[in-house]
Amino acid sequence: MREGIHPKYNQVIFLDASVGFKFLSASTKSSNETMEWEDGNTYPVLRVDASSASHPFYTGKQRDTEQGGRVDKFKQRLAQKK
């Protein structure tokens, strides 16, 4: 493997500020903001818009948009005309 061509891979804290959920993982991204983790070490913090704690698919609050296909829409229009 060639030296000097790969990005640094460090531990970071991902923080979903909308619900206060955070988890420690590894990433090539970094930030100037830091936070102390449960193990007593300080890690960079990356803020995310959605996580498994706030995303509607994982929380069960996802809306089901029941949209029929073209045939269903045609049948509905035909039934309205009759």
- Whether 71 is in a domain gets the answer no
Q: Which residues pair with 44 in a beta bridge?
A: 34
- Whether 73 is in a domain gets the answer no
Q: Give the three-class secondary structure for 15.
A: strand
Give tens-digit pLDDT for 12-70: 999 988 888 899 999 999 899 999 999 999 999 988 887 777 766 666 666 655 666 78
| Residue range of the domain that includes 14 | 1-60
Are the C-beta atoms of 12 and 30 separated by less than 8 Å?
A: yes
Domains in the chain: how many in total? 1
Quote the pTM value.
0.63
Residue 50: per-residue pLDDT = 78
Average pLDDT over residues 8-12: 91
- Whether 82 is in a domain gets the answer no
- Whether 49 is in a domain gets the answer yes
Cα–Cα distance measured from residue 59 to residue 4, given in angstroms and rounded to the nearest whole number: 42
- Whether 25 is in a domain gets the answer yes
